[in-house]
């Protein structure tokens, strides 16, 4: 990660949507095209029903930016799939907000 900062928020809601605020040049890291990062997250959202927000605040090194994105995604996905012992049932505000 070094100088790059990425933030990822997700909701396993059954409603796929991707917000991808990442500015990367059309370039390659080795044989990997950086444009495929957004394609991966688009497919992930559409096939898993996940609402996903990926934001990169800053970074210079393309490898570090890509690494920061995937590390933030992994941590957000891990947190989203953990059971919260303080919550009974499904954590949702649906039907309670007017």
pLDDT digits (tens, 9 = 90+) for 21-37: 999 999 999 999 999 99
Strand order across the beta sheet in which 51-58 lies: 5-11, 51-58, 17-21
33: Cα separation from own chain's centroid: 18
Q: pTM of the full predicted structure?
A: 0.86
pLDDT digits (tens, 9 = 90+) for 34-73: 999 999 999 999 999 999 999 999 999 999 999 999 999 9
pLDDT, residue 86, reads: 85
Return d(Cα 80, Cα 45) in angstroms, integer. Answer: 14
At residue 57, what are phi and psi to the nearest 5 degrees? -80, -40
Domain ranges, ordered by start, for the chain: 5-80
- What is the fold, at CATH topology level, of the domain defined by 5-80? Ribosomal Protein S5; domain 2 (3.30.230)
Between residues 59 and 93, the one the model is more confident about: 59
């Amino acid at each position: 990660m070094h100088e790059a900062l990425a933030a990822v928020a997700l909701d396993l809601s059954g409603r796929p949507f991707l917000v991808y605020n990442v500015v990367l040049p059309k370039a390659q890291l080795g044989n990997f095209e950086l444009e495929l990062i957004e394609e991966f997250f688009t497919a992930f959202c559409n096939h898993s029903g996940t609402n996903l927000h990926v934001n990169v605040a800053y970074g210079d090194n393309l490898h570090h930016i890509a690494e920061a994105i995937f590390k933030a995604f992994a941590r957000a996905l891990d947190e989203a799939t953990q059971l919260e012992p303080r919550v009974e049932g499904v954590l949702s505000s649906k039907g309670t907000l007017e």
